[in-house]
């Protein structure tokens, strides 16, 4: 990790209210090359945070910086560096995976000659190649989730923002996605994900942040979080920190 490099993601006093605070003065920094898991109870503000990072929701206050680029000042420059995968991604039912990936690549201005091998590699990796010429409308939830992830990766973003990327995936698909995320980080990329599957955070994340009522209440490696509590599994630590029985 290069300490002189700008953080991959820096949130400063980020806030969003929907009548009441959903995200409430959130400060959070993720360094380049990290896999950071954001955990929190239902309604804690995780999705709202990620949607602001993705530029889909305007903050009421505070700022988002992506590799030192202020999202509000230079949205196009900041967004070029990230991919955002929502918890319920949208696909085009009447497109085949290859067509979908070519379409997404086109939106990013990637030449077909470059997009095609990238798409092939992603479909291979996610074990979707044998379905490459089927319409996505017939895909299972897990297959759709994997294709959406491939779409998020097609422009080779440096920062991946993933909302619950493993929900609904079977063991094999979850393994493929986890391997892909680890590969992204090994190659110098950065991942920020939310998950309710604590084993995913425990196994993949270098650092874990716990958010409650829109605020970061704890952050660190699993060992650091353990030392702030009575220890145990991440589940024990999480439940203690969030004051749940
Ligand atoms: N568009 C919206 N309009 C009104 N309230 C909203 C909106 N989006 C989120 N909220 C509220 O903001 C709060 C935070 O929601 P958010 O979806 O960010 O939580 P979360 O941590 O992602 O929860 P979960 O784990 O259940 O997905 C909740 O109280 C939610 O009801």
Residue 209 Cβ inside 6 Å of ligand 1? The answer reads no
Instruction: Tell me the C-alpha distance between 123 and 116, whole Å.
Output: 11
The domain segmentation of the chain, as residue ranges, is 1-81+190-245
Going from the Cα of 96 to the center of ligand 1, the distance in angstroms, rounded, reads 32
Give nearest CA residue, ligand 1 atom 9. 48
CATH number of 1-81+190-245: 3.40.50.300
**Ligand 1: residue whose CA is nearest its atom 31:** 43
Q: Which atom of ligand 1 is nearest to the CA of 49?
A: 18
How many CB atoms neighbour CB 101 within 10 A?
26
User: Which of ligand 1's atoms lies nearest the C-alpha of 50?
Assistant: 18
pLDDT of residue 245: 64
Instruction: Give all strands (DSSP E) within 127-239, no chain letters.
Output: 159-163, 190-194, 207-212, 215-220
Ligand 1 centroid from CA 49, angstroms:
9
Q: Is the Cβ atom of 47 under 6 angstroms away from ligand 1?
A: yes
pLDDT value at residue 3: 58
Ordered DSSP codes for 75-140: HHHHHTTEEEE-SS----TTS-HHHHHHHHHHHTT--HHHHHHHHHHHHHHTT-GGGTTS-GGG--
CA distance 102 to 86: 20
Question: Phi then psi for 148, rounded to 5 degrees?
Answer: -60, -35
SS3 sequence, 56-73?
CCCCCEEEEEECCEECCC
Ligand 1 centroid–CA 195 distance in Å is: 15
**Which residue owns the Cα nearest ligand 1 atom 29?**
43
Give per-10-residue mean pLDDT for the chain (245 aa): 80 96 96 96 96 96 97 95 89 90 92 92 92 91 91 93 90 90 94 93 94 95 91 89 81
Residue 231: predicted pLDDT: 82
- Nearest-CA residue for ligand 1 atom 17 is 47
C-alpha to C-alpha distances, 236 to 2, 16, 222, 228, 233, nearest whole angstrom: 33, 29, 11, 12, 5
For 137, list phi and psi in degrees, rounded to 5: -60, -25
The structure tokens 């294709």 sit at 147
């Amino acid at each position: 990790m290069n300490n002189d490099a700008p953080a991959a993601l820096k949130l400063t006093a980020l806030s969003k209210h929907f009548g009441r605070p959903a995200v409430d003065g959130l400060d959070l920094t993720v360094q380049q090359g990290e896999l950071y898991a954001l955990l929190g109870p239902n309604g804690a503000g995780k999705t709202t945070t990620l949607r602001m990072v993705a530029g889909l929701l305007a903050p009421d206050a505070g700022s988002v910086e992506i590799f030192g680029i202020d999202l509000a000042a230079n949205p196009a420059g900041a967004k070029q560096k990230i991919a955002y995968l929502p918890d319920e991604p949208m696909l085009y039912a009447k497109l085949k995976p290859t067509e979908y990936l070519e379409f997404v690549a086109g939106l990013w201005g990637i030449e077909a000659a470059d997009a095609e091998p990238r798409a092939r590699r992603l479909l291979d990796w996610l074990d979707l190649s044998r379905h490459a010429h089927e319409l996505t409308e017939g895909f299972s939830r897990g297959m759709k989730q994997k294709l959406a992830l491939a779409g998020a990766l097609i422009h080779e973003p440096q920062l991946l923002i993933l909302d619950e990327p493993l929900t609904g995936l079977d063991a094999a698909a979850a393994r493929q996605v986890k391997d892909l995320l680890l590969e992204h980080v090994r190659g110098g990329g950065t991942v920020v994900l939310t998950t309710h599957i604590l084993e995913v955070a425990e196994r993949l994340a270098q650092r874990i942040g716990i958010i409650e009522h829109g605020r970061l209440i704890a952050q660190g490696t699993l060992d650091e979080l353990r030392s702030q509590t009575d220890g145990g599994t991440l589940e024990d630590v999480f439940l203690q920190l969030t004051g749940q029985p």
